[in-house]
């Protein structure tokens, strides 16, 4: 046999040997895998706890794969839903923050007061309707005339809930927030002074304390304006009572509230009483059904307004300016 033939025979023999070895290895590997599978199957059949644990692990793996595949879509949907909910919540919060209501939903006398004050002080009637309703509610709770509460708001701030004086009096009732901070604690803090309803309630509390301390309404108003230690309140009480009279006339349904008759400051109260019949006649023309009671109301208001008549007219004007600033 020649050398090339011997090499060719050796290569073929080697290839055949390698092929048989690979086949044997593959056969043995598959046999080993079969034995392992059979052993695992027998183990799972005989051990329920292992089988359940394996099922739970496989289930969690499949769920994780499914969640990963659908997460982008769900995230986008959730973000959109959150944005929609946020917009709705913002709109609802804005409506809740608004201090306004329809005056026509109030009782007739309260609606008349709201419209009259809105026209006089150039304020929207819807916010005033809330204040009028709240004043009647608080007045019932505190045994104070609601038209008196409204008169104080009118004189103090002209129904501007953001008013602030040079000495720090704030809100509708011009409450000294720094002094009465404790009264705002139940309403969330001193910033509630600029919430109209809160300021109204706190102002009424302060007014009650002033009346109790002074022992009378007029004295309480003097304390309220900060003139307790002064010889006069600068005409503050008279101004409040005059506006109180006008608002009460509207609430009582006596037509457009007439101007409360105010006699000149230099004249004594006797001359003012002498002018009362003329004012009573005017009231009788405007309220035909209650002429006698109107005349009596006018006479009382004249006497009240002319109480602080010892001051000159110029001094009263200066004092009134100081009182409004406080």
pLDDT tens digit at each of 326 positions of the chain: 677 777 778 888 888 888 888 888 888 888 889 888 888 888 777 777 777 777 888 888 888 877 665 555 555 556 666 656 555 555 556 666 778 899 999 999 999 999 999 999 999 999 999 999 999 999 999 999 999 999 999 999 999 999 999 999 999 999 999 999 999 998 999 999 999 999 999 999 999 999 999 999 999 999 999 998 999 999 999 999 999 999 999 999 985 554 544 444 444 433 333 333 433 343 334 434 344 443 344 334 333 334 433 333 333 334 333 333 33
Identify the architecture of domain 104-325 in CATH.
Orthogonal Bundle (1.10)
Paired residues of 169 in beta bridges: 176
- Strand, coil or helix: 175: strand
Alpha carbon 200 to its chain's center: 14
State the CB neighbour count (10 A cutoff) for residue 210: 19
Instruction: Tell me where in the chain the CATH 1.10.530.10 domain(s) lie.
Output: 104-325
Measured from the Cβ of residue 103, the count of other Cβ atoms closer than 10 Å reads 22
The full DSSP string for 289-312 is GGHHHHHHHHHHHHHHHTTTTTS-
Least Cα distance to 54 among 65, 73, 69, 41 occurs for: 41
CA–CA separation, 130 and 153 (whole Å): 13
Instruction: Judge contact between 170 and 164, C-beta under 8 A.
Output: yes
């Amino acid at each position: 046999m020649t050398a090339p033939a011997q090499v060719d025979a050796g290569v073929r023999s080697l290839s055949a040997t390698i092929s048989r070895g690979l086949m044997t290895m593959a056969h043995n590997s598959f046999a080993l895998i079969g034995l392992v599978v059979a052993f695992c199957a027998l183990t799972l059949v005989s051990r329920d706890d292992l089988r359940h644990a394996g099922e739970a692990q496989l289930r969690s793996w499949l769920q994780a794969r499914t969640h990963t595949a659908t997460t982008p879509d769900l995230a986008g949907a959730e973000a959109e839903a959150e944005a929609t909910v946020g917009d709705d919540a913002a709109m609802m919060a804005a409506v809740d923050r608004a201090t306004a209501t329809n005056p026509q939903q109030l009782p007739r006398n309260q609606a008349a007061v709201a419209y009259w004050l809105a026209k006089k002080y150039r304020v929207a009637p819807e916010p005033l309707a809330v204040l009028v309703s709240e004043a009647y509610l608080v007045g019932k709770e505190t045994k104070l005339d609601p038209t008196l509460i409204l008169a104080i708001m009118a004189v103090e701030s002209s129904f501007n809930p953001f008013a602030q004086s040079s000495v720090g009096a704030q809100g509708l009732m011009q409450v000294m927030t720094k002094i009465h901070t404790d009264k705002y604690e139940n309403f969330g803090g001193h910033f509630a002074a600029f919430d109209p309803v809160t300021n109204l309630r706190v102002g009424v509390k302060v007014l009650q304390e002033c009346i109790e301390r002074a022992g009378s309404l007029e004295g309480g108003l003097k304390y309220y304006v900060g003139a307790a230690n002064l010889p006069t309140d600068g005409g503050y009480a008279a101004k409040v009572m005059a506006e109180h009279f006008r608002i009460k006339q509207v609430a009582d349904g006596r037509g457009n509230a007439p101007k409360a008759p105010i006699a000149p400051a230099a004249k004594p109260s006797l001359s003012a009483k002498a002018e009362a019949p003329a004012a009573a006649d005017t009231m009788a023309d405007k309220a035909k059904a209650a002429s006698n009671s109107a005349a009596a109301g006018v006479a009382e208001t004249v006497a009240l307004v002319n109480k602080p008549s010892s001051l000159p007219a110029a001094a009263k004007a200066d004092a009134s300016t100081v009182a409004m600033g406080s």
